[in-house]
Amino acid sequence: MTHQLRAEYGPAGRSGGAKQWHVVRSANLVAALCGRDIEPDAETKPAEEWGTGLRACQQCGSLYMHEVPHMPGDPHR
């Protein structure tokens, strides 16, 4: 399963930049792992940018960590 980060915008929309970033599965790019609906044309970043200082949804991050092996040498990776 692959994942991506998708932007959630605030009241100013895209012009105000991303309010926060959600994790989505590539199979359904408009549904965040936390259950929030994401705009179909929202900005996208690779999942590898999760945890690099972006303002990310905590619930999405927690669920993402359960779905993706993340330890070096992990045999399930």
Residue written as token pair 């927690």? 62
- What is residue 74's predicted lDDT score, i.e. its pLDDT? 53
- Assess if residue 73 is contained within a domain: no
The boundaries of the domain holding residue 52 are 3-67
**Whether the predicted model's global pTM rises above the 0.75 cut:** yes
Question: Is the confidence at residue 76, as pLDDT, over 60?
Answer: no
Rounded Cα distance, 32 and 15, in Å: 21
What does the DSSP 8-state code read for residue 43? Answer: -
- Assess if residue 35 is contained within a domain: yes
Overall number of domains in the chain: 1
Question: Is the confidence at residue 17, as pLDDT, over 70?
Answer: yes
- Assess if residue 21 is contained within a domain: yes
Of 61, 11, 65, the C-alpha closest to 32 is 61
What does the DSSP 8-state code read for residue 61? Answer: H
- What is residue 27's predicted lDDT score, i.e. its pLDDT? 92
Of the CA atoms within 13 Å of residue 4, those in its CB half-sphere come to 15
- Assess if residue 13 is contained within a domain: yes
